[in-house]
Structure 1
Amino acid sequence: MTLQYTAVGIQNESHMATTIDDYWKDLERLQTSIGYSVWNCSLDLPVRLVTISEGGIGGWCLGGGDEHIRIARDVVPEIPGKETEFLGEICKQFNIYLIAQMVATAPDIMKDRIFNIAFMIDPNGDVIHQHIKTSFYQRETNTAPSDIWNLYLEKYGDDPEKLLDVLYPVAKTEIGNIGTLICAEGSYPEAARGLALNGAEVIYRSQYPEPWMGNKMNQIQNQSHAIFNTCYVVAPNIGGIYMPGWMISK
């Protein structure tokens, strides 16, 4: 990768979604934020990559048991879908690649389950990359590949190289080979190394909750991933999170 460009991390406020409308509140605000970031941050090199943090679109809409199934059926989007089409139009307008994350469904993997998914959209507006989060911190109730490993083996087989590609996919683009890690995944050097083995030159790694941002653990991990794997790490943080009746400041 020899191309020089600017990568932007947008630190936006978001809503903990209780309906799909909450996703759209964040999407509509991001339309303005993305446009401003491209305009303001391209004074030196052109902005070609814009990143949005975990939770930046619809928060996490967490729920276990029957609530998990209700959220999967009634609240969260599917990727690709109307939401990624909306973001795709922005990518076309500004000729950018966009990396973001949403709690969403993946019916091709398993119906009625919620997954934490990072995705990338190219300047043509197409979703070219999806990565399902593999490891969570204590409060997250989404579905991990390890929870349904038998389905992964049925779908993809047991070849280690094939499974590495499935778990740690890397998008080959004109601005570099790009992979994604979501929050707690960055706690494990093996996750970043999995992306590096698949050719990653740029790794997106989204934020942690406190106290692991303020005490610099997140920063140390990201710098280590970059050094040990000879790659760049783009690490967007999040702003305030609106929840029903109150707000958390990150």
Structure 2
Amino acid sequence: MTTPAPFAAIALQLTARSVEDCATREAVAESMAATIDDTARKLRASCVFVEQYGGTRVRLAVLPEYWMTSYPGRIGVAAFAQKAAIDMDGAEYEQLGRIALAQDLFLAGNAYERDPAFPGLYFQTSFVVAPTGAVVLRYRRLNSMFAPTPHDVWTAYLDRYGIDGVFPVATTEIGRIAAIASEEILYPEIARAHALRGAEIFVHSSSEIGAPIATPKAIARRARAFENSAYVVSANTAGIAGTAMPGASADGNSQVVDYKGHVLAEANSGETFTAFADLDVAALRAHRRKPGMTNQLARQRLELFAPIYSGRVVQPADSLIARDGALRIPDREHFARVHAGVIERSAKEGLI
């Protein structure tokens, strides 16, 4: 396996544009296309500055969570899938592919996506587009409070995609890349599962509260990087436009974190490229192969924990699969009901 030379990575902090006021799918598509065009211009200018400033080529850019549409809000699952979720072979990916090709970089982002195997649903998908223009990684968020996930259709999803499709890792010319979606950075098992499959760089698209104090996600990014000896490139939104929520509620603190848990760069608020830094995958690999107390990944004793995890159900799988195997399209309240049931059962079992 060829080890790449050091390269620059940018966490591009952009405003998410809500499509809540778009009346039709055609209007949503026009809005998303305009957002991608705007992203292309801003990324191109950002790469020019970073390469002139530091002298290192930009080979990886990460975009924020759901920056093309914002979150669904109270729109029903099926209605949002029809209105605003993109297709796996849709025009949006073609447009993003042209950006990656023109800039000769890997472009990571996050969008709501329809899968023809699960009609009426959508999944929140983190993706990586290669410099060839092709999508080389598609990861669907596994832990979400108010939206469908592969775990909610677990049996059917595994039958279709297998475990490789649940925890995908892309082997690329700049290193092995995996994606973590939004608040999943708070769940160490997800990052660890990717790391155990070889991931060296976590791309993290988020839309979260920015603050001058250490937020839970900021703490978690450093922890996930250190405990897995992996880089984290995390792009937050620069606020959300077009909703009733105050615009800067999810703004700032995009970060690049190295494999020792050190923050290499961090953005302030607003639209900015200033969370950029050089990534040295050769140094990361040397660190992983060196015996020592700080080599957390090589010190794992996984057999210790297997009996605790095995057979223990907290959040149930297949909540959207009916007893006859049919797919159920949920209302928004379904997820809250499942969550309340988990808490009630866990309390009875003395788990919480």
TM-score by shorter chain over 0.5: yes
Matched with 2:183 is: 184
Matched with 1:168 is: 167
Which 4+ residue blocks in structure 1 deviate beyond 4 angstroms? 211-214, 244-247
Taking the aligned partners of 2:125 and 2:114, their CA distance within structure 1 comes to: 9
Taking the aligned partners of 2:183 and 2:198, their CA distance within structure 1 comes to: 21
Residue identity in the other structure for 1:54:
E
> Alpha carbons of 1:28 and 1:122: their partners in 2 closer, same or farther (altered >3 Å)?
same
> Alpha carbons of 1:42 and 1:76: their partners in 2 closer, same or farther (altered >3 Å)?
same
Matched with 1:32 is: 41
Q: In structure 1, the residue corresponding to 2:87 is in which secondary structure?
A: coil
> Alpha carbons of 1:205 and 1:106: their partners in 2 closer, same or farther (altered >3 Å)?
same
Taking the aligned partners of 1:205 and 1:131, their CA distance within structure 2 comes to: 11
C-alpha distance after superposition, 1:113-150 (max 9, x if no partner): 111000111111111110000012x4xx3211111112
Counterparts of 1:51-130 in structure 2, within 5 Å, are 51-63=62-74, 67-108=76-117, 110-130=118-138
Taking the aligned partners of 1:125 and 1:78, their CA distance within structure 2 comes to: 16
Could you tell me whether the CA contact under 8 Å between 2:171 and 2:177 is conserved in 1?
yes
Percent identity over the alignment is 24
Q: In structure 1, the residue corresponding to 2:127 is in which secondary structure?
A: strand
Taking the aligned partners of 2:246 and 2:102, their CA distance within structure 1 comes to: 32
Taking the aligned partners of 1:207 and 1:75, their CA distance within structure 2 comes to: 19
Matched with 1:146 is: 151
Count residues with an aligned counterpart.
238
Which stretch has the larger CA shift, 210-219 or 179-188? 210-219
> Alpha carbons of 1:213 and 1:150: their partners in 2 closer, same or farther (altered >3 Å)?
farther
Could you tell me whether the CA contact under 8 Å between 1:26 and 1:58 is conserved in 2?
no
Matched with 1:159 is: none
Identify the match of residue 11 of structure 1 among 13, 24, 39: 13
Q: In structure 2, the residue corresponding to 1:179 is in which secondary structure?
A: strand
Taking the aligned partners of 1:46 and 1:147, their CA distance within structure 2 comes to: 41
Give structure 1 stretches of 5+ with no counterpart. 157-161
Higher alpha-carbon Rg: 2
Matched, 1:46 2:57: yes
Could you tell me whether the CA contact under 8 Å between 1:132 and 1:145 is conserved in 2?
yes
Q: In structure 1, the residue corresponding to 2:122 is in which secondary structure?
A: strand
Taking the aligned partners of 1:53 and 1:107, their CA distance within structure 2 comes to: 25
Could you tell me whether the CA contact under 8 Å between 1:61 and 1:103 is conserved in 2?
no
